[in-house]
Amino acid sequence: MKLKILLLIFIVILAGCSQPKTQGIPSEKITNFKPGSSGNLFLFYPSDNRVSQSKTYVKEVDNAGEVINVFSIEDADFRRAEPFQNPLYPNTIYLSLFGEAKIENFFYEFDLDTKTFAKKKIDYFKEPLGVSNVFHYGKQLNFSTILSHETGEQNEKDGLFNVSISNIDSEKTVETPYGASPAYTPLLGFNNNVFYGANLTLNKKDEFTGKGIVSTNLETGEFKFLNPENDTTASYLPFYTNDDFMFFLSDSGVFYKYDKDMRVTHHKFLTSEQLDKGYSIDIENKPLFINKHEALYTVSHSKTALLLLIDIDTLSFKEIPIKGSYESIRLMSYDNTNDEIYILGEKGDSADLLTLDDITLHIENKFKVDYPHLLDFVIKY
């Protein structure tokens, strides 16, 4: 009940800002939203019909977090969106839609150079399949769907389901085996295959047991199952890939590094002592790469979140000190056109938006934000 009341208050407050300090620019589509250059931050609260918010609201704020302007955007296609950045294309923010039960063959991109949104339609499917997400590493854009491209449904067999994996560049698509749908994590394009973390793997009797890593060849449709820990309880985050290696991080605190011959090496990320002391890894926490060799990542320690800088070449890390104790840290985006990184530190109902310098990783600015659970991404114009 408390959450419902807060959501209603949020909607009323934003509605009351329809006459901001500076007149807003009306926009009927997110792709038309161009407020101009200001040097200010813009906080995006996309529409969400689950809480009766039919419009996308954008707050323009100054360095102190004071609201200068509020924009409303009426776009029936644009809604709650999760950002993702591939270090090979650092100036593009890929936006995967989520939240509402909609089956749509499109996603959005934001170009940091031109400061514009683009709606990217997928037109090679016979019917709407729904884009689950466009989280991806590698040179090509691989994504997963909500429904199977072969049947147009999320098929069920003995309580297991299947979906499809597709490549937007080659327009090749394969249907996953039952029960081997990808987790809500990135897909890795490596060695002419697509790799992902799945909730189930096959045993020697071709029975699904536990969790593991799945690879598929989009040309042949062949699937293979990997379990580097021989542990059916570990979950795997596809962490990164380059021309020579691919990396997975397990929630048991181990990095797995595969070469082109699929030889795997183990690298302890968190020790058993750290795990015993309360450190934990959530595989749905994706890294934020600031170059091709370094990524920011967050782990939890008891009730405190830690911000880490991971060196991909050595698979080592160092903690980035953040003044203040946060229960969670959300990595929002990296803007290399302004040399800034944006993160959100949350504790209870309170949250701070922090701006970090991309070289020193020192905090350049910090201010409180309202309704962080409805704030999806941050952009400087």
17: CB partners within 8 A, 6+ apart: 57, 67, 70
Bridge partner residues of 258 (DSSP): 246, 264
At residue 240, the pLDDT reads 98
At residue 157, the pLDDT reads 82
**Dist. CA 342–CA 331, nearest whole Å:** 7
At residue 14, the pLDDT reads 46
Q: Which residues of 269-291 are buried (b: 16+ CB within 10 A; e: fewer)?
A: bbeeeeeeeebebebebbbbbbe
C-beta separation of 105 from 134 below 8 A = no
Give tens-digit pLDDT for 140-185: 999 999 999 999 988 888 777 889 999 999 999 999 988 888 999 9
Give tens-digit pLDDT for 320-333: 999 878 999 999 99
pTM (two decimals): 0.90
Residue 214 has pLDDT above 50, yes or no: yes
